A and B are shown apart, each in its own frame.
Chain A
Amino acid sequence: MNKTLFNSGHTACAGCGQSLAARLVIDAAGANTIVVNNTGCLEVFSTKYPETAWAVPWIHSLFENAAAVASGVESALKYLGKKDSINVIAQAGDGGTADIGLQALSGMLERGHDILYVCYDNEAYMNTGIQRSGLTPFETNTTTSPIGAQSLGNLRPKKPMPEIANAHGIPYVATASAGFPQDIQRKVKKALSIKGPKYIQIHVPCPLGWRHEPGLTFQVGKLAVETGLYPLIEYENGKLANVRKLTQVKPVSEYLKVQGRFKHLLNNPEAINKVQEIANYNIEKYNLSEVTT
């Protein structure tokens, strides 16, 4: 087995996309890295005292402040003259990034700190029991956006975090997916080769919260990309520089039907169609289709 900086023995659920992505990220970054982690699943399942999964220096403070704590780590390294030799990664879940941590993240991006921020997007507050976040997709059934006689689940589409990050004028923004492991590592390495603030948002399936088979994590991650619901894109210096083209665009129903969180949509063509419209919008906006018209 290859040496990893994120060791086994932690307490993540079977099939956890976040633990997989976190390992890929830190192994791509290497041992000369300091990690700052927001509160959330990853922090909880990887550092239960007196054990830790982390073979790199790692700090957790609070739910919303990883970007600010990381700014302090980076400032201290600058003062010590060590910034050029040590990577700083701040990481958080989708709630810790797009909701409660957005202010601290915006400050970190605007100030130009040399930090890679990684958002592990499992599309709800999974650590507290599947409550909706600003990155929960449209019509998702969560414990705080439940389905009912007057509800098809979450009322709003995902907050456009990559665009929000990009609007700060930072040198690198990317999306990635646990369904494409090598792509995650390529993007992390690329990001860390660039000075300044970087933002990578990784789609990480959560079998518990999404209610899919734990063995389907890769497939579910891939389907989100292949349907156009989770476009894999890269912005460099504000401009869309790269997208993962789709040779065959799959209908969103293929993605929805394997997940319990969308089960209520399956006999509702109108509701599925609204999700399809989101995928179509993405495909057009980012020019995802290989097929030229």
Chain B
Amino acid sequence: MKEFLEGSMAVAKIIKLCKPGVISAYPITPQTHIVEELAQMVADGHLDSQFVNVESEHSAASLVLGAVATGVRVYTATSSQGLFYMAEVLYNIAGMRLPVIMTTAARAISAPINIWNDHQDVVSLRDCGWVQLHAEDIQEVVDLHLIAYRLGEDKSMMLPVMVCMDGFVLTHGIESVDIPSQEEVDKFLPGYKPLYKLDPENPLTLGPLVDPEYYMEARYALEQTQREALVLIPKLTAEFSKVFGRTYNGLIEEYRTKDAERVIVAMGSVCGTIKEVIDELRAKGKKVGLLKITSLRPFPAQNIYEALKNVPKVGVVDRALSLGSYAPLSAEIKAVFFGKAKKPTVISSFIAGLGGRDITKDSIKEIFRLLTTKERQCEFIDLKPELLKESYE
């Protein structure tokens, strides 16, 4: 049923339909509305779940780790500093092969403290072993959560999955959203059947000390499973589309790229703005397009190669930095084409929208304008040079 919903309310509604037995979270803006709503659902008796308020994100992640290891579906959500405070536990959850599902309200990181949207938090955690899916709009956020549970809990995966939604833009934005019925969700997502669990009937030791004889194989297996997720994700989105009628690739989305001469690569909510600009420019005869990255991990290198191999000019928009090096997404896009015969003549790198600075239609037009034969490296868009003149001296 279509409802006019704030993004956080939409997430809470879909999580309720997924029936997690244990939910734990710690408050951090802009994630709070999601867990507040879930707490209310439990308080009202509409959701049969143990909702546990913890004293930190570290404990929120640890608590759902313990609960999922006991064989129960779990949920948590965080953002920014909270995600960083969880970081050690996130690596541990992935290494222990436990399917925790988490929403991350993507937000800038401190210092300076800033509560608004960019991707510095989630992109920094790209190597923690979690599947990382990025949503463009609230409907996609909702749908990706269903796919996340199916994917993570699949016996061939046993992987944690993070669904990233842009802080405020999607957590607090309001859109018309199709929230599926319980019957539809139950059909797509049956109850969690753990491959292994803590059970006195069948005692197992989880999280043992592993010496050099065995450690590499455990990490290799995790790496292989991430790669296998590249195959499973499109299968699940195809199945999803049969049940719910909405079609996703789940790894990437190509928007008017077929004959495009200039293509922007981006993640998250800014893709909506980019699509609007593309439509305007296309109306003026400009051959422009968008490649949206939905799955940052696993990284769909082959899909990206196929989508961009014939595009002359590619501009990668990063809402994150790898300070002192290439912007993270741009470096990975370039790596896709290293040593390839077919490739763009130029892959330029742009930094935009840090700390909630709006990426406007004009910002996107500027990026397209700068997509010339001259390769640009970490070109900051909408930077205010006058602010850089302030000095202590």
Check if B59 sits within 8 Å of A61, measured CB to CB: no
Interface centre among B65, B96, B210, B214 (most CB of A within 10 A): B65
Give A240 to B92 CA distance when docked, in angstroms. Answer: 40
Check if A56 sits within 8 Å of B203, measured CB to CB: yes
Nearest residue (CB) in B for A104 is B59
A194: interface (CB < 8 Å): no
B322: interface (CB < 8 Å): no
B54: interface (CB < 8 Å): yes
Nearest residue (CB) in A for B54 is A107
Chain B min CB distance to A64 (Å)? 8
In the bound complex, residues from chain A placing their C-beta under 8 Å from that of B24 are: 72, 75
Chain A min CB distance to B285 (Å)? 58
Check if B62 sits within 8 Å of A72, measured CB to CB: yes
Stretch binding the partner chain, chosen from B69-77, B140-148, B326-334, B363-371: B69-77
Check if A55 sits within 8 Å of B56, measured CB to CB: no
Stretch binding the partner chain, chosen from B45-53, B244-252, B373-381: B45-53
Nearest residue (CB) in B for A90 is B66
Check if B71 sits within 8 Å of A61, measured CB to CB: no
Interface centre among A44, A65, A78 (most CB of B within 10 A): A65
In the bound complex, residues from chain A placing their C-beta under 8 Å from that of B59 are: 65, 67-68, 71, 103-104, 107
Residues 36-62 of A, flagged 1 when their CB comes within 8 A of B and 0 if not, give: 100000011001111010111111111
Give A106 to B54 CA distance when docked, in angstroms. Answer: 10
Check if A80 sits within 8 Å of B54, measured CB to CB: no
In the bound complex, residues from chain B placing their C-beta under 8 Å from that of A34 are: 70, 198, 200
Give A55 to B204 CA distance when docked, in angstroms. Answer: 8
Given contacts A32-B200, A68-B66, A73-B198, contact A52 B208 (CB under 8 A): yes
Check if A73 sits within 8 Å of B70, measured CB to CB: yes
Check if B203 sits within 8 Å of A62, measured CB to CB: no
In the bound complex, residues from chain A placing their C-beta under 8 Å from that of B183 are: none
Check if B21 sits within 8 Å of A79, measured CB to CB: yes
A232: interface (CB < 8 Å): no
Partner of B50, one of A36, A76, A103: A76
Check if B200 sits within 8 Å of A56, measured CB to CB: yes
- Chain B interface bracket (under 10, 10 to 19, 20 to 34, 35 or more): 35 or more
Check if B62 sits within 8 Å of A58, measured CB to CB: no
Give A83 to B92 CA distance when docked, in angstroms. Answer: 26
Q: How many residues of A contact B (CB 8 A)?
A: 44
Interface centre among B48, B69, B74, B199 (most CB of A within 10 A): B69
Check if A73 sits within 8 Å of B66, measured CB to CB: yes
Give A52 to B66 CA distance when docked, in angstroms. Answer: 19
Given contacts A56-B203, A59-B206, A60-B207, contact A103 B56 (CB under 8 A): yes
A70: interface (CB < 8 Å): yes
Nearest residue (CB) in B for A107 is B55
Chain B min CB distance to A49 (Å)? 4
Check if B209 sits within 8 Å of A57, measured CB to CB: no
Residues 189-207 of B, flagged 1 when their CB comes within 8 A of A and 0 if not, give: 0000000001110111111
A229: interface (CB < 8 Å): no
B44: interface (CB < 8 Å): no
Partner of A80, one of B58, B65, B72, B202: B72
Give A73 to B70 CA distance when docked, in angstroms. Answer: 6
Nearest residue (CB) in A for B213 is A49
Give A68 to B85 CA distance when docked, in angstroms. Answer: 14
Check if A61 sits within 8 Å of B56, measured CB to CB: no
A33: interface (CB < 8 Å): yes
Nearest residue (CB) in A for B69 is A59
B63: interface (CB < 8 Å): yes
A155: interface (CB < 8 Å): no
Give A47 to B206 CA distance when docked, in angstroms. Answer: 9
Give A104 to B68 CA distance when docked, in angstroms. Answer: 18
A188: interface (CB < 8 Å): no
In the bound complex, residues from chain A placing their C-beta under 8 Å from that of B207 are: 47, 59-61
Given contacts A34-B70, A49-B210, A62-B92, contact A75 B52 (CB under 8 A): yes
Check if B71 sits within 8 Å of A76, measured CB to CB: yes
In the bound complex, residues from chain A placing their C-beta under 8 Å from that of B204 are: 57-58
Nearest residue (CB) in A for B52 is A75
Check if B66 sits within 8 Å of A103, measured CB to CB: no
B211: interface (CB < 8 Å): yes
Interface residues of A in 57-115 (CB under 8 A from B): 57-62, 64-65, 67-80, 86, 103-104, 106-107, 110-111
In the bound complex, residues from chain A placing their C-beta under 8 Å from that of B108 are: none
In the bound complex, residues from chain B placing their C-beta under 8 Å from that of A65 are: 58-59, 62, 65, 89
Give A31 to B206 CA distance when docked, in angstroms. Answer: 17
Nearest residue (CB) in B for A54 is B205
B35: interface (CB < 8 Å): no
Check if B62 sits within 8 Å of A80, measured CB to CB: no
Nearest residue (CB) in A for B198 is A57
Chain B min CB distance to A1 (Å)? 20
Check if B54 sits within 8 Å of A71, measured CB to CB: yes
Chain A min CB distance to B122 (Å)? 21
Give A71 to B200 CA distance when docked, in angstroms. Answer: 17
Nearest residue (CB) in B for A43 is B209
B127: interface (CB < 8 Å): no
Give B contacts to A, CB under 8 Å: 21-22, 24, 48-50, 52-56, 58-60, 62-72, 74, 88-89, 92, 96, 198-200, 202-211, 214
Top 5 closest pairs, chain A to chain B, by CB: A72-B66, A76-B70, A68-B62, A107-B55, A69-B66
A-B contacts, 5 listed (Cβ < 8 Å): A48-B209, A49-B214, A56-B203, A69-B66, A111-B52
Known interface pairs A60-B207, A111-B52; 4 further A-B residue pairs with C-beta atoms within 8 A, sorted by A's residue number: A49-B211, A104-B56, A106-B55, A107-B54
Give A contacts to B, CB under 8 Å: 31-34, 36, 43-44, 47-50, 52, 54-62, 64-65, 67-80, 86, 103-104, 106-107, 110-111
